[in-house]
Structure 1
Amino acid sequence: MERIPPWPGRAGRSYPSSYGRSGEEELFAALDLGTNNCRLMVAAQTTGGFRVVDSYSRMVKLGEGLHHTGRLAGPAMERTLDALRICAERVGRRPLKAIRAVATEACRRAENGADFLRRAKAETGFDISIISGREEAGLAVESCASLIHSSRFGAPRNRALLFDIGGGSTEIAWVRVDPFRQTRDLIGYLSLPVGVITLSEQFGHVSPHDPASYAHMVAYTKQALHEFEAIHRIGPEIRRQQTRLIGTSGTVTTLASLVLGLPRYARAAVDGTQLPSVSARKAVRMLHEMGRAGIEAHPCIGPDRATFVLPGCAIFEAIHDMWPIEDIIVADRGLRDGMVLRMIRKAGPTPRHYHRPSVLGPIPFQHSIQATGS
């Protein structure tokens, strides 16, 4: 893994830290620029993990139109730069030990992805690196390590299958687990170029609320999984009851919130729950019955995410059709969590020192924290 530099920011304007430094906590920041969302997390190292100090998420739809043009569109890039400026201001107010920023499928696929990231660095100070599908899967596994090994979910298993349904791709990780040493190794991964944005654009001429069209989405996605199954023979491990299934995505957390009957989304109520597959399937049927208006009005979804809910469910059902594990462990955690854990491990028990970041202004606007499960 490459060296993780301290946050350099941009010269010319600095902010005093608004974070209380009692206890000399070491802070780490992680930024995940995805196809659909821009997410930031600032966390303080604790014994055995970390505590979230600040969290920000905005739906920017960076990959909007990418399926048809192969390029990032102007309005999408402007929305994303607006969100990155807000993120730059937030990290610029804190003394960070280290920061890492990554971009995923949209920038991997787009002809102008690297050009956009150079512009983002010039305008916001973030040095964003495009990571491979393998590293994306590895970070997802890192973020869910405690769930993979948790005794709360029954007897130990020697395999874990993790899926992360994103905006532009779906990452699947097949993991060998040693429950006694509490270790895990990535046996294989699949970066499937099917996400909630790409699927909705690819099938844009049909309505996912139409049963036949929805079934077509499921079949299309499932077909892309056959080769991975043929290589790794996951089915026999499932039949021997040796596999845990872990889902980390807005789709899975939404299904869990519906099953739990939450009046509004609450990460604490969802993360780390065990969702029976029968209940998850019923929640999908519930979404179909709601229709577009009902999905938009639901407090755990809202109008911004309504377009992508059923395409996400189609991907989920394809995965579960292929690998029908009885229960799904739900994880409201992702690349940011994995990056923070890696930075903490890399930092080790070193003497505490701080780098005061700075950002170039003026920042034209501010937004309140939006910590979401999407």
Structure 2
Amino acid sequence: MTTRVAAIDCGTNSIRLLVADLPDADAGPRAPLADVSRRMEIVRLGQGVDRTGRLSDEAIERTRVALASYAEEIGKLGVERVRMCATSASRDASNAADFRGMVQQTLGVAPEVVTGDEEARLSFTGAVRGLPADAREPYLVVDIGGGSTEFVVGTRSGGVQAAISMDIGCVRMTERHLHGDPPSQAEITAAQADIADAVDRALAAVPGREAATLVGLAGSVTTVVAIAQDLQEYDPERIHHARVPYDQVADVTADLLAKTREQRLAIPVMHPGRADVIGAGALVLRVIMERAGMDAVVASEHDILDGIAWSLL
């Protein structure tokens, strides 16, 4: 027996849908979920939030259009349970009630504006459940989003040991520091210092330097890994669980930060909605690896979206 569920993750940069069939609760901890549909739209819900403290009317409308399409698909696929989690932008905005009202009207389900800790735990569950058996524990799972980055340390059997969320997402860092096209060295240096300060505080709160394996989640990480692999098209199967050494991450980061937006758009695996913020996302990943002393990152296509789905079991 399976249960068909829909998970929606509404972040600062993108909104994603997973419709999946969950195995019976007695199937065991290694039983996978079965994808029915995965979708992603770049809606930039958090555009300008770091500066204004508000969600713009245009950003809310972009999100509504994407959500209406998701609601239609959910209805057609016979979903039994739906959960939508909204993350950093919704926590920060003074007009978050407008956003919640829109979601309730469009989807028929209220969004859960999860705390940073809950966001981190969902990400860890989604990432760790499918890791290869030879991935050494404990894990440091980092989920680099648009507005924030979650740091979670734990093991497969013991679950989460410690978690923290820091405001160093790719959209936030781009809007705060990387204004040039390409950004100047002074802008990059300022962003790097800001990120390093946040990462050091995170690693003081969670024992990330004691972890044996770094697992990286979300679009910034998977895009960097796709570029490092020189893929000519985005291939989730090749990216999922790929291991990329620090030197390659550093090279890709430097190259992205040296390119103009138009040059980044020409990269075969680049999503058009990510081209203006990928430099900051790559920089966050590189600094985490440096400060945590990690010689490689394992990418995962399974993340908070899968964790939301599993929470409906």
- TM-score for both structures, normalised by structure 2: 0.92
Report the Cα offset of residue 123 of structure 1: 3.4
Partner amino acid, structure 1, of 2:48:
G
Higher RCO (CA < 8 A, seq sep 6+) = 1
The residue aligned with 1:75 is: 58
1:201 aligns with 2:178: no
**Contact 2:182–2:258, Cα closer than 8 Å, also in 1:** no
1:32 to 1, 9, 15: 9
The residue aligned with 2:162 is: 188
**Structure 2 Cα separation of the partners of residues 192 and 318 of structure 1:** 14
1:336 aligns with 2:305: yes
Please list, as runs of the form range in 1=range in 2, the aligned pairs for 1:144-155 lying within 5 A after superposition. 144-148=127-131, 150-153=132-135
For each residue in 1:210-248, what CA deviation from the matched residue of structure 2 results, as whole angstroms up to 9, or x when unmatched?
23321221111111222333344543x2xxxx5211100
**Contact 2:21–2:34, Cα closer than 8 Å, also in 1:** yes
**Structure 2 Cα separation of the partners of residues 124 and 339 of structure 1:** 16
**Contact 2:126–2:302, Cα closer than 8 Å, also in 1:** yes
**Structure 2 Cα separation of the partners of residues 233 and 334 of structure 1:** 21
The residue aligned with 1:93 is: 76
Q: 1:231 to 1:194 in 2, by over 3 A?
A: closer
Unaligned runs of 5+ in 1: 1-23, 345-374
**Structure 2 Cα separation of the partners of residues 341 and 124 of structure 1:** 20
Partner amino acid, structure 1, of 2:87:
T
The residue aligned with 1:160 is: 139
Identity, in percent, stands at 27
Q: Residue 135 of structure 1: SS of its match in structure 2? A: helix
For each residue in 1:137-162, what CA deviation from the matched residue of structure 2 results, as whole angstroms up to 9, or x when unmatched?
001100112355x3344xx33x2111
**Structure 1 Cα separation of the partners of residues 232 and 117 of structure 2:** 37
The residue aligned with 1:314 is: 283
The aligned length equals 307
**Structure 2 Cα separation of the partners of residues 232 and 99 of structure 1:** 31
The residue aligned with 1:213 is: 187
Please list, as runs of the form range in 1=range in 2, the aligned pairs for 1:1-374 lying within 5 A after superposition. 25-46=2-23, 48-148=31-131, 150-153=132-135, 156-157=136-137, 159-175=138-154, 177=155, 182-203=156-177, 205-207=179-181, 209-235=183-209, 237=210, 243-344=212-313
The residue aligned with 1:372 is: none
**Contact 2:119–2:150, Cα closer than 8 Å, also in 1:** yes
Report the Cα offset of residue 288 of structure 1: 3.5
Partner amino acid, structure 1, of 2:166:
L
Q: Residue 225 of structure 1: SS of its match in structure 2? A: helix
**Structure 1 Cα separation of the partners of residues 266 and 121 of structure 2:** 35
Q: 1:127 to 1:276 in 2, by over 3 A?
A: same
Report the Cα offset of residue 183 of structure 1: 0.6
**Contact 2:120–2:151, Cα closer than 8 Å, also in 1:** yes
**Structure 2 Cα separation of the partners of residues 51 and 89 of structure 1:** 20
Partner amino acid, structure 2, of 1:313:
A
Q: 1:135 to 1:36 in 2, by over 3 A?
A: same
Partner amino acid, structure 1, of 2:220:
T
**Structure 2 Cα separation of the partners of residues 294 and 96 of structure 1:** 41
Q: 1:323 to 1:266 in 2, by over 3 A?
A: same
**Structure 1 Cα separation of the partners of residues 120 and 198 of structure 2:** 17
**Contact 1:251–1:309, Cα closer than 8 Å, also in 2:** yes
Q: Residue 227 of structure 2: SS of its match in structure 1? A: helix
The residue aligned with 1:367 is: none
Report the Cα offset of residue 25 of structure 1: 4.8
**Contact 2:182–2:259, Cα closer than 8 Å, also in 1:** no
Report the Cα offset of residue 208 of structure 1: 5.5
**Contact 2:182–2:261, Cα closer than 8 Å, also in 1:** no
**Largest Rg, 1 or 2:** 1
